[in-house]
Structure 1
Amino acid sequence: MTAAPLLPWTLATLALLPALGLALVAGCRGRIGQRFAAVQLAGSLCVILLLCLSFATDQPSTIDLALTLTVLTLPGTLLFVVFLERWL
């Protein structure tokens, strides 16, 4: 495959990185409700980022990783909330 069709996916991946960084910083600071929303946003951004990376690298087998993360994002966030409520 040529490099031209892969360029938009690479640019989309790079465009998502600052938003992911801001979500991770917001997940470490702020009130508990803001942390919860930031962790949910970071999970959603990671799924989209993994999908963009799978198309940018032309590896369709990595889409399974994004689908697994989609299924595990909500339970992981709920465990994070239980941790925050109990120990912080």
Structure 2
Amino acid sequence: MSPPLLWIAALCALLPPLGVAVAAALRGGLAQRFAASQLATTVAIFSLVLTTFAIDQPSSIDLAITLALLGLPGSLLVAVFVERWL
């Protein structure tokens, strides 16, 4: 296998865990949904990094970095909103 195909194979291997995390984020209790959304964010970051290596375009890693930097604060803001207003 050539190197880009290995990255694509690794990316395909991350799709089922991402699907399970998204499905878990749509059902369950509030704490379970929050934890599942955090897991989905983490898996999405790894997927974006693998995509960057698969397409051999170094500038696209900025998406993964942005998601990593804004994922946790955004989730905490949603948690504060849900706690306060819902």
Calculate the TM-score normalised by the size of structure 2: 0.90
SS of the residue 2:56 aligns to: coil
Unmatched segments (≥5 aa) in structure 1: none
- Unmatched 5+ stretches in structure 2: none
Q: TM-score scaled by structure 1?
A: 0.88
Q: What code does the residue aligned with 1:24 have?
A: V
- Residues matched between the structures, number: 86
* Aligned-pair CA distance for 1:64: 1.1
> For the structure 1 residues 29 and 87, does the alpha-carbon distance in structure 2 shift closer, same or farther, using more than 3 Å as the test?
farther
Given the alignment, which residue of 23, 38, 41 partners 2:39?
41
Work out the CA distance in 2 between the residues paired with 1:45 and 1:63. Answer: 14
**Corresponding residue for residue 78 of structure 1:** 76
The structure 1 segments of at least 4 consecutive aligned residues displaced by more than 4 Å after TM superposition are none
Shift of residue 87, structure 1, vs aligned partner: 5.0
Residue of structure 2 aligned with 1:11, choices 9, 14, 28: 9
Q: Which amino acid aligns with 2:17?
A: A
